[in-house]
Structure 1
Amino acid sequence: MKKIIIMFSAVLMAVSISGCKKNENTAQEKLPTIGIAKLLAHPALNSVEKGIQDELTAKGIKVNYDLQNANADMNIATSIANKFKSDGVDVTVGIGTPMAIALLNTLQTTPIVFAAISDPVAAHLVPSKDKGGKNITGVSDAVDIESQINAFRSIVPFTRLGMIYTSSEDNSVVMHKVTKEVCDKLGIKLISQPITNINEIKQAAESLIGRVDAFYVVTDNNVCSSLNSITSTAAANNLPVFSADPSSSLQFGGVLYTAGADYYVIGRLAGQQIIDILNGKKTEDIPTRYMKGAKETQTIIDNDAANALGVTIPQDLISENTIFLENGKEVKK
Structure 2
Amino acid sequence: MKKKVLTAVLAAAMVMSMAGCGSTKDTTSTAGNTVSTDAQTESAAETTDGTEAASGATYKVGIVQYVDDASLNQIEAAIEAELDKKGEELGVTFDYGDYTFNGQADSTTLNQIATELVADNVDVIIPIATPAAMIMQNATEDNQIPVVFSAVSDPESAGLVAGNDAPGANITGTSDALDTDAVFDLMFAADPDIKSVGLLYDKSQDSAKKPIEEAKAYLEGKGVEVVEKTGTTNDEISNAADALAAAGVDAVFTPTDNTVMTAELAIYEKFIDAGIPHYTGADSFALNGAFLGYGVNYEDLGTATADMVVDILVNGKNPAETPVQTLSNGIATVNTETAEALGIDYSVFSDMCEGVVETQTAEEFE
TM bucket, shorter chain: 0.7 to 0.9
How far the C-alpha of 1:146 sits from its partner, in A, is 0.8
Structure-to-structure mapping, 1:66-215, within 5 angstroms: 66-108=99-141, 109-157=144-192, 158-211=194-247, 212-215=249-252
Matched, 1:227 2:251: no
Q: Is the 8 A contact 1:217 1:245 kept in 2?
A: no
Counterpart-to-counterpart distance in 1, 2:66 and 2:355: 29
In the alignment, the residues of structure 1 paired with residue 294 and residue 199 of structure 2 have an alpha-carbon distance, to the nearest angstrom, of 16
> Which secondary structure state, in structure 2, belongs to the residue aligned with residue 134 of structure 1?
coil
Q: Output the CA distance in 2 between the equivalents of 1:287 and 1:187.
A: 38
- Secondary structure of the equivalent of 1:280? coil
Tell me the TM-score normalized by structure 2.
0.77
1:51 aligned residue (51, 59, 78): 78
What is the TM-score when the length of structure 1 is the normalising length?
Answer: 0.85
1:45–1:95 contact (8 Å) kept in structure 2: yes
After superposing the two structures, state which structure 1 stretch, 87-96 or 154-163, moved more. 154-163
**Measured at CA, do residues 316 and 164 of structure 1 come closer, stay the same or move farther in structure 2, by a change above 3 Å?**
closer
Q: How far off its partner does 1:55 sit?
A: 1.6
Give, in angstroms, the shift of residue 169 of structure 1.
Answer: 1.6
Q: Is the 1:167–1:195 contact (alpha carbons within 8 Å) kept by the matching residues of 2? A: yes
**Structure 1 position 162, deviation (Å):** 1.1
Shift of 1:140: 0.6
Q: Write out per-residue CA displacement over residues 197-217 of structure 1, whole angstroms, 9 at most, x where no aligned residue.
A: 223111110011132111112
Q: 1:75 to 1:188 in 2, by over 3 A?
A: same
Aligned mates of 1:131, 1:184 — CA distance in 2: 33
Distance 1:311 1:219 in 2: 23
Q: How many percent of aligned residue pairs carry the same amino acid?
A: 28
Secondary structure at 2:159's aligned position in 1?
coil
- Segments of 5+ residues of structure 2 without an aligned counterpart are 1-37, 44-54
Higher helix share: 1
Provide the secondary structure at the position in 1 that maps to 2:259. Answer: helix
Say which SS state the counterpart of residue 270 (structure 1) adopts: helix
In the alignment, which residue of structure 1 is the partner of 2:357? 323
Q: CA deviation at 1:326?
A: 4.8
The equivalent residue for 2:95 is 64
Aligned length: 304
Distance 1:328 1:187, change over 3 A: same
Q: Give per-residue Cα distances to partners, 1:12-64, cap 9 Å, x unaligned.
A: xxxxxxxxxx9736997651111010110101111111111122222235210
Choose the corresponding residue for 2:281, options 218, 223, 244.
244
Q: How far did residue 156 of structure 1 move?
A: 2.2
The answer to whether the Cα contact below 8 Å between 1:132 and 1:284 also exists between their aligned partners in 2 is yes
Q: Distance in 2 between matches of 1:302 and 1:33?
A: 39
1:37 to 52, 58, 64: 64
Greater CA radius of gyration, 1 or 2? 1
Structure 1 position 320, deviation (Å): 7.8
Tell me if structure 1 keeps the 8 A contact 2:330–2:354: no
For 2:201 and 2:237, the matched residues in 1 are separated by 9
